[in-house]
Amino acid sequence: MKQNPTEHFDQAAASWDKKQHRVRLAHDIATAIAHLPINQEMTAMDYGCGTGLVGLALAPKLKWLTGVDTSKGMLTIFAKKAAKLSENNVSTRLLDLALAPSPEQFDLVICSMTLHHIEKVDKVLTEFFAALNPDGYLAVADLDEEDGSYHDQDAGEEHYGFDRRKMKRKLADIGFRNIHFQTVHAIDKSVDGEQKSFPIFLVTARKSCQN
């Protein structure tokens, strides 16, 4: 039976940051997002925030960061790390955008390595658009389309990465503009004795205020 993604992440939360490849990946994603013109007047939502490896790295550059996840376990670790770092501009929210909209709007929406665990991607991307202030920024990092061998075991994934051209069309149809892709990281791992590389993209876009 396929494991529920929320249950998987609840169980994995306590030891999540112990995997150095996750720390390196998050660092590269956060570094790339930091090149956006973000500033301390901006509010941000980190959707699928996990333990905050990406979001908390960006929090000092922002006015406020809201870590959003469907996993209580991940949010607990996120909050503990924020307190240890003395980040007083951080909050958490338990929310599934596939089921309910965000109760507030933000200047930046971050989503890192989360979309491939979400069944209703189109719905969530639409909710990202709705959650952004006019001319707000979207920053989504995830796997390029792959053959399903990225995960060693069932981790509740719904998609084997994403085709960049299809993703660009989805975002444009929703109303995003200035859509730009870049490769920010590659994860090398052995699969059935063969060394494979899995590129990670970051797509950034802005909410068109004409919609």
* pLDDT of 134 higher than 50: yes
- Binned at pLDDT 50, 70 and 90, residue 148 comes out as confident
The model's pTM = 0.91
For the stretch 15-33, pLDDT in tens is 778 889 999 999 999 999 9
- Binned at pLDDT 50, 70 and 90, residue 211 comes out as very low
Range in 49-63, 155-169, 192-206 the model is least confident about: 155-169
Percent of the chain with pLDDT over 70: 94
Question: Is 13 in contact with 81 (CB distance < 8 Å)?
Answer: no
More confident position, 85 or 14: 85
- Which residues in 29-56 are b (16+ Cβ under 10 Å) and which e? bbebbeebebeeebbbbbbbbbbbbbbb
State the average pLDDT for the chain.
Answer: 92
The arithmetic mean of pLDDT across residues 75-79, rounded, is 96
What is the secondary structure of 20-64 as a DSSP string?
A: HHHHHHHHHHHHHHTTS---TT-EEEEET-TTSTTHHHHGGGSSE
What is the secondary structure of 139-157 as a DSSP string?
A: EEEEEBP--S-SSSS----
Residue 15's identity, in one-letter code, is S
- Ordered by where they begin, the domains of the chain are 5-207 (3.40.50.150)
More confident position, 148 or 163: 163
Percent of the chain with pLDDT over 90: 76
Question: Is 6 in contact with 119 (CB distance < 8 Å)?
Answer: no
